[in-house]
Structure 1
Amino acid sequence: FRTIDGSCNNRLNVDRGRSSRVFKRMLPAAYNDGFGESSISWTCGSRLPSARAVTQAIKNGTNAPSTIASHQFPLWGQFLTHDISKLGEDKTEAGHIRLACPCGDTNPLCFNIEIPTGDVMKTEKDCIPFVRALKVPDVNCKNTTREQENRVTPFIDASNVYGSNEQFKFNLKSGCAKYCNTAGFNPITLPFLISGDTRVNEQAPLMAGHTTWLRMHNKIADQLSVMNPNWSGTKKYETARSIVGALHQQITYNEFLPILLGDDIMKRFGLQLTKKGYYYGYDTLYDATVDISVVTAALRLGHTLINQILTQPHPDFSSNPSDNMDLRTQKFGVGSIMRGMVTDHAMKFDTDFAEAMIDRLFAEPASLPPGKFGKDLPALNIQRGRDHGIPSYNEHRRFCGLSVAKNFDELVDIPPNLRAKLSTVYNGNVDDIDLYPGGIAETSITGGISGPTFACLMAYQFRDLRKGDSFWYENGGSSAKFTLSQLRSIKQTMLSGVICDVGENVTTIQPEVMKLHTLPGNQRVPCTSLTSLDLSPWNE
């Protein structure tokens, strides 16, 4: 079985893929001082505009709905991102950032975002506080260029469910200690809203997603216990964990990536799953470590897809007037939230964001005076890119073999109206465009949601996550972890089947839950017509 911290996955380098190691870089860091130690560490110098000014300049104000993706699509994107990455930050045991970074703070870890004159937020504050990520040694244990730490395993291994270190594993399993060596073993019976990832409580849909997979683990473990009463508690736990991790890989490459990247990119980078039998593409030379540009910018494209209004339909999918998003309430629990996720449409991939993301992120409670502003999520993304020394949009296009613009008219993948806005806010310097705003300004690729630059970066990353994982669920030969019959069972399972299996009062659902149920051929069907995970191949 996998180690909990990802170590020993690669036999040439046992630390490759271990949690609490640095992110990798497809491109060298581009700090303006060369090392990332100056108080202004923006990629191209201090002339760059405020990140808040950029987000305000490029929005169109339309925020149109997607005609393809349900809200389950960006939810899976966030759930997946939390599986493969977690930035090292200086936090208390309760999970709070130690530094407050009020405006004007000269602490070198404070990298606050200036709010421009005339901005709607300016009436309340002059900046959005921002704390730099912790500096850690590079892979060679040197402290030259500033690098950042990934505190979880980079593999798609359901570490967001199980954790990425022994302490997390102990905390999760301690709730079932008295059952671990009995036939009634129920390996994760947890206090509510505790999971393998501390971000579980960020928002209700994410909480519902975590609860879905905790329930799925328990269901698998219970069935394994009945079938194999002589198995030890550890074997039941680890086998269930391996199955859940395999399901995450299957769902990501079979349901999520095709919508994100389209068939052409999937074929070009070898991301399509085998139709039957094993996969023989594992290569010890590939490094599954997550790239800093991917997690800082490309995977954050999902923030543009978030819908301001989320519903909680009744079991028959009729409208539910309640706005209660408290998962601890049985009447409106996980089932109603997940029904909403598969019903509500995501928003289009563009430079527009829900108000809750761009003006009122983490705003004060509604009990305070109205009009209270919070933070700006896309501005935080831009600033985080500068904190990490992420090279410019043009540099990433050069890396991908795409055309590199010498002027704003040559931004061929960005619509003309956005070229003009970018030219204004970046003062005519095309090489100053940050990766994140440049990436979300692009037109979607054929058959996919992402623009071409982000599609390229993510395709490289997901190629490495497959080819560089010795525990990849499809692997054959000496790396095989499942029998052919077990592999067949995993490949027949879809996310819709998982939601049907463990979501309360879910009786009908569309087969492809990351797509809208209104699309031809994806209408809702009875859960009984979907394939549930068949565990009989694990019966010994």
Structure 2
Amino acid sequence: MARTSPYRSGLVWTVYDRICERIDRRVGWDKLPRPLALLLLIGIRNNLRRENLFDTNVAPATNLPPLSEPSAQTRSQRTPDGTYNDLETPRMGMAGARFGRNVPLAAGAAETGDRLMTPNPRVVSRRLMTRTTFQPATTVNVLAATWIQFMVKDWFSHGAGDATRPFDVPLPDGDPWPTPPMLVPRTLADPTRSGQEDGYPPTFTNINTAWWDGSSIYGSSTDQQRVIRSGVDGKLNVSADGMLILPDDPSLNPTLVPGFWTGLAMMGGLFTLEHNAVCDHLKAANPTWSDEELFQRARLVVCALIAKIHTVEWTPAIISHPTTVTALRANWFGLVGERFTRTFGRISGSEILSGIPGSETDHYGVPYSLTEEFSIVYRMHPLIPDDYAVRSAVDDAHIADYTFRDLAGPAGGQVLQDVAMADLLYSFGTANPGAIVLNNFPRFLQEFERPDGKLADLAATDILRTRELGVPRYNEFRRLLHLDPATSFADLTGGDHGLAATLDDVYGGDLEAVDTIVGMFAEQRPTGFAFSDTAFRIFILMASRRLNSDRFLSSDFTPEVYSPAGFAWVRDNGFTSVLLRHYPQLRPCLHGVKNPFAPWVSSSGPA
């Protein structure tokens, strides 16, 4: 049996949570006044914490990833590979640990045979994903798209895949794919499992650490950290243009890693500069600290600041319903609010009143991991535009036009040398990303050229991965998340009969066959939401869990661990202050902008 959570399983909470679930199904949390909606979200999250956390480590394991020896510093600093975040269970969340599940293990079996290819992922890509007209998300800017890739690169990776026995995706007659056949590497099997004869479905491993520990900057191993560190005052190697300097070794060149593009590098460069600024701040307050002490404390600070930005700025921009904005800020500051918390600190051990940071670490009875379902709901490729106009941050003058292909791989590295970072940030800050809907997938990602020259249709790959990793199809996924399934294709699309007819045709009239990603992109969203209410259920469960389970963002989020100067840095800063610290020329563009992930002010001045 898979371990599940005993969280709030008493009679009173159980009754309360069931009432909340029933009201949510009948009315919808997003249709209620904010106070009632917040109470409803508490009950919804209680249900999810109790019934949608499943531990895959109940399956037998051999050849576990190596465990580093604890050191005297283990209690007060993050290890490179994520070990010892939980001192009693040091392997929890480490690099190479298994993904967990948000659905019962029996419901998470990988699809195989004809089922895996039905309907054909390439047909789904071409007919339901292809962007014919760019559909913008007008309430946010392109930095919101770069940010989430920066986060995803930190949170999880299934690795490079097994290209020795790839999936062969059938190409329909007349398909324009330029390099047939279409081969997609399989996800690498879990190296800690000897096979599936034990009766458990396949499991897969996360090659990243599962913690919110800045691995997109710092890596997940001692060797990776050694490469990026300067050895002086805790700082990272930074070039004159503000980018991380790596040794002259092609194997360490990030532009040759699939997924690299200019936008991702912009975020990495910005927070590399922020790390070094934190080092200067900490050294001024603690002049006797060694290089190692400065590096480790600065890493803690930068990671917490990134978590704060994501919680109280990025996510409220992406799901800007008044209730969720309040709830997300309460995750960090508590319902007493930011001003009160900044002035008086915590007044209660309750995460609801005083926020999660500084509260007790809590895994809710199930060992912490990120989940396969979490990895799927964050496949938000439609956010990426195909076309980019770069303009001057000083006067909005046109500098250059690029396509996404121009910004990806080694070509994207060249753009970083050709265009000033302030101009890139301004251009991304004043442009809109794509809406996360059907028929809005970036055309360059449907024919994405990897650094090795091979082509990939990432839309077809997303569909195939969802099935391969055992994430249930859309209607069953909703049932398992305590939501009503769609009753018809018209119900799914909110009455868009043209889209409903296309879905009906692609899926052969079988509503139960609709893929989770397709269903999430098709469904009608709550007011202010850039992604679906279905995805939101995984989010409200796992977003809080990333904070609750990480002792450096819960019980060890203290001035003693971070240092008073470091703790104050997290308290006093956000994404706007990070941007302006390193690129002060952006100040006029951010004047009056309440959320830096919303569109910025044009530097051209009043129309």
TM bucket normalised to smaller:
0.7 to 0.9
Residue 458 of structure 1 pairs with residue 539 of structure 2: yes
Residue 229 of structure 1 pairs with residue 287 of structure 2: yes
**Paired position in structure 2 for 1:204:** 262
C-alpha distance in structure 1 between counterparts of 2:525 and 2:181, whole Å: 33
For structure 1, the 5+ residue unaligned runs are 91-97, 100-106, 527-540
| Residues 1:313 and 1:51: Cα distance change in structure 2 (over 3 Å) | same
1:481 to partner: Cα distance: 3.6
1:427 to partner: Cα distance: 0.8
Report the AA paired with residue 497 of structure 1: S
Q: Deviations over 1:16-44 (max 9, x none)?
A: 1111111111114579xx965xxx726x8
| Residues 1:213 and 1:339: Cα distance change in structure 2 (over 3 Å) | same
For residue 249 of structure 1, give the secondary structure of its aligned residue in structure 2. helix
The question of whether the paired residues in 2 share the 8 Å contact of 1:10 and 1:284 is answered with no
Report the AA paired with residue 155 of structure 2: I
**Paired position in structure 2 for 1:343:** 430
Residue 408 of structure 1 pairs with residue 464 of structure 2: no
Q: Decide which of 135, 138, 141 is 1:67's aligned counterpart.
A: 138
Report the AA paired with residue 292 of structure 1: E
**Paired position in structure 1 for 2:127:** 57
C-alpha distance in structure 1 between counterparts of 2:486 and 2:276, whole Å: 53
C-alpha distance in structure 2 between counterparts of 1:141 and 1:268, whole Å: 43
Q: Deviations over 1:272-328 (max 9, x none)?
A: 321212442531436441111221x21112x11211112322131513333485457
C-alpha distance in structure 2 between counterparts of 1:289 and 1:382, whole Å: 23
| Residues 1:423 and 1:469: Cα distance change in structure 2 (over 3 Å) | same
1:418 to partner: Cα distance: 2.6
The question of whether the paired residues in 2 share the 8 Å contact of 1:283 and 1:467 is answered with yes
For structure 2, the 5+ residue unaligned runs are 1-76, 239-243, 347-354, 403-411
| Residues 1:137 and 1:264: Cα distance change in structure 2 (over 3 Å) | farther
The question of whether the paired residues in 2 share the 8 Å contact of 1:88 and 1:148 is answered with no
C-alpha distance in structure 2 between counterparts of 1:483 and 1:217, whole Å: 15
For residue 322 of structure 1, give the secondary structure of its aligned residue in structure 2. strand
C-alpha distance in structure 2 between counterparts of 1:187 and 1:46, whole Å: 45
- The TM-score with structure 1 as length reference comes to 0.79
**Paired position in structure 2 for 1:496:** 576
Q: Deviations over 1:244-271 (max 9, x none)?
A: 1011011000111112334434666896
**Paired position in structure 1 for 2:160:** 89
| Residues 1:476 and 1:139: Cα distance change in structure 2 (over 3 Å) | farther
**Paired position in structure 2 for 1:442:** 523
Q: Decide which of 201, 216, 223 is 1:160's aligned counterpart.
A: 216
Q: CA RMSD in A?
A: 3.5
1:501 to partner: Cα distance: 1.6
Q: Deviations over 1:347-393 (max 9, x none)?
A: 2221123553453311799xx9xxxx943221111111122122111
| Residues 1:348 and 1:269: Cα distance change in structure 2 (over 3 Å) | closer
Q: Decide which of 357, 360, 365 is 2:447's aligned counterpart.
A: 360
Report the AA paired with residue 22 of structure 1: R
Residue 132 of structure 1 pairs with residue 186 of structure 2: yes
C-alpha distance in structure 2 between counterparts of 1:525 and 1:488, whole Å: 36
| Residues 1:356 and 1:407: Cα distance change in structure 2 (over 3 Å) | closer
C-alpha distance in structure 1 between counterparts of 2:447 and 2:598, whole Å: 28
C-alpha distance in structure 1 between counterparts of 2:468 and 2:531, whole Å: 24
**Structure-to-structure mapping, 1:286-297, within 5 angstroms:** 287-295=367-375, 297=376
**Paired position in structure 2 for 1:283:** 362
Residue 188 of structure 1 pairs with residue 237 of structure 2: yes
C-alpha distance in structure 1 between counterparts of 2:417 and 2:562, whole Å: 37
| Residues 1:412 and 1:328: Cα distance change in structure 2 (over 3 Å) | closer
**Paired position in structure 1 for 2:500:** 419
**Paired position in structure 1 for 2:314:** 256
**Paired position in structure 2 for 1:322:** 400
For residue 111 of structure 1, give the secondary structure of its aligned residue in structure 2. strand
C-alpha distance in structure 2 between counterparts of 1:343 and 1:475, whole Å: 39
| Residues 1:212 and 1:292: Cα distance change in structure 2 (over 3 Å) | same
**Paired position in structure 2 for 1:298:** 377
Report the AA paired with residue 214 of structure 1: T
The question of whether the paired residues in 2 share the 8 Å contact of 1:172 and 1:196 is answered with no
**Paired position in structure 1 for 2:65:** none
C-alpha distance in structure 2 between counterparts of 1:197 and 1:482, whole Å: 33
1:228 to partner: Cα distance: 2.4
1:155 to partner: Cα distance: 1.6
**Structure-to-structure mapping, 1:106-125, within 5 angstroms:** 109-121=165-177, 124-125=178-179
The question of whether the paired residues in 2 share the 8 Å contact of 1:164 and 1:196 is answered with no
C-alpha distance in structure 2 between counterparts of 1:198 and 1:242, whole Å: 29
1:172 to partner: Cα distance: 2.2
Q: Decide which of 382, 387, 390 is 1:312's aligned counterpart.
A: 390
Report the AA paired with residue 600 of structure 2: H
1:200 to partner: Cα distance: 8.7
C-alpha distance in structure 1 between counterparts of 2:259 and 2:414, whole Å: 10
1:201 to partner: Cα distance: 6.9
**Paired position in structure 1 for 2:30:** none
1:192 to partner: Cα distance: 4.9
**Paired position in structure 1 for 2:98:** 22
The question of whether the paired residues in 1 share the 8 Å contact of 2:311 and 2:328 is answered with no
Report the AA paired with residue 493 of structure 1: N
| Residues 1:159 and 1:525: Cα distance change in structure 2 (over 3 Å) | farther
